[in-house]
C-alpha cells in the first residue's frame, strides 16, 4: 500500500509493481486519515509512505501502522535524500528508507528484501554532496546539542511526552526546549519547524545524476 499525496506516484508504483508477480498494490491514500482506514481495511504486508503526506507526518503514520497492524512493514519512499533523517527513521523501527529517484528494478529488489523481514537503506542516500553547516540544525540555527536532538524527534513526528521518554528528560524540559527551538529557527509552530528543516535539507539535494 502507498500513502502519498501525489496521485502520479500511485500510478507509477502500480506500473512498477505490476512487473513482479509477488507484488500488487492493495491500496493508495492521499492523506494520513485515508491511509489509516486503508491500512486497517487491507492489512498490507508493506506500507510505502512519504515523509510528509498532505501536510501531516508520514513518519508518525508509519509508527502508528507498526502498532495498529504489526504484520505491516513500514517503508519510507521519499524525495528527501537525507542520511540523518534516514538513520533516525531506521532507528525508530522502519523497515526501509528508499528514494524516489531510484530505478524501478532497485525498488523491487529492496521491497523483496523487506518482504523477507530485512531492513533496507537505499544505497543512494547521502551520496549527494551537501553543506554540513546548512544540514546540521545545531550549527545552522544555533541550537544546543539537546535542542538539536529534540528537533530531530519533532521531525520524526514525536509529541512532547514521547520525546521526554525517548530522551529520558522531564516533560516540562521538553516543552522549554521546544519553545527555544521555535524561537531560534523562526517557526510559528511544530509543523512549521518541520517544514523549515526538511525544506532546507531538500534544497541541498541536486537532481538525479546521469548514470556513469
Q: The domain 2-121 is classified under which CATH number: 3.40.720.10, 3.40.50.2300, 3.40.47.10, 3.40.50.720?
A: 3.40.50.2300
The predicted structure's pLDDT at residue 127: 65
Say which residue the cell 500510478 belongs to: 11
C-alpha cell of residue 184: 531560534
Phi, psi of 96 (to 5 degrees): -170, 160
The predicted structure's pLDDT at residue 138: 58
Q: Are 85 and 121 in contact (CB under 8 A)?
A: no
- Domain coordinates in residue numbering, the chain: 2-121, 132-203
Say which residue the cell 520525546 belongs to: 163
> Rounded to whole angstroms, how far apart are CA atoms 188 and 105?
41
DSSP summary character for residue 22: T
How many helices (H) and strands (E) the chain has is answered by: 11, 8
User: Identical fold at 2-121 and 132-203?
Assistant: no
The predicted structure's pLDDT at residue 137: 59
Q: The domain 132-203 is classified under which CATH number: 3.90.550.10, 3.90.1170.50, 3.40.50.720, 1.10.10.10?
A: 1.10.10.10
Q: What is the mean pLDDT of each run of 10 residues along the chain (212 residues)?
A: 93 90 91 95 95 87 90 92 81 86 89 91 70 51 82 85 89 92 86 76 44 40
Helix axes 171-185, 145-155, angle to 10 degrees: 90
DSSP summary character for residue 207: P
Q: CB under 8 Å to 153, separation ≥6 — which residues?
A: 162, 163, 166, 167
Q: How far is CA 160 from CA 60, 90, 154, 173, in A?
A: 13, 20, 8, 9
For 173, left (φ over 0), alpha (ψ -120 to 50), or beta? Answer: alpha
Amino acid at each position: 500500500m502507498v500513502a502519498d499525496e501525489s496521485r502520479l506516484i500511485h500510478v507509477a508504483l502500480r506500473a512498477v509493481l505490476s512487473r513482479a508477480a509477488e507484488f500488487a498494490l492493495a491500496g493508495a491514500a492521499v492523506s494520513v486519515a485515508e491511509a489509516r482506514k486503508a491500512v486497517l481495511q487491507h492489512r498490507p504486508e508493506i506500507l510505502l509512505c512519504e515523509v510528509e503526506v498532505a501536510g501531516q507526518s508520514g513518519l508518525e503514520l508509519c509508527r502508528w501502522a507498526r502498532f495498529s497492524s504489526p504484520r505491516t512493514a513500514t517503508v519510507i519512499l521519499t524525495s528527501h535524500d537525507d542520511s540523518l533523517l534516514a538513520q533516525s527513521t531506521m532507528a525508530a523501527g522502519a523497515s526501509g528508507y528508499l528514494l524516489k529517484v531510484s530505478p524501478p528494478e532497485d525498488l523491487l529488489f529492496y521491497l523483496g528484501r523487506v518482504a523477507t523481514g530485512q531492513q533496507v537503506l537505499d544505497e543512494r542516500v547521502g551520496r549527494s554532496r551537501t553543506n554540513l553547516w546548512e544540514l546540521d540544525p545545531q550549527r545552522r540555527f544555533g541550537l544546543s546539542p539537546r535542542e538539536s536532538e529534540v528537533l530531530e524527534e519533532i521531525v520524526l513526528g514525536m509529541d512532547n511526552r514521547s520525546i521526554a521518554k525517548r530522551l529520558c528528560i522531564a516533560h516540562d524540559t521538553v516543552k522549554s526546549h521546544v519553545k527555544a527551538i521555535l524561537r531560534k529557527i523562526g517557526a510559528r509552530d511544530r509543523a512549521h519547524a518541520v517544514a523549515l528543516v526538511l525544506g532546507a535539507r531538500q534544497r541541498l539535494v541536486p537532481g538525479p545524476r546521469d548514470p556513469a
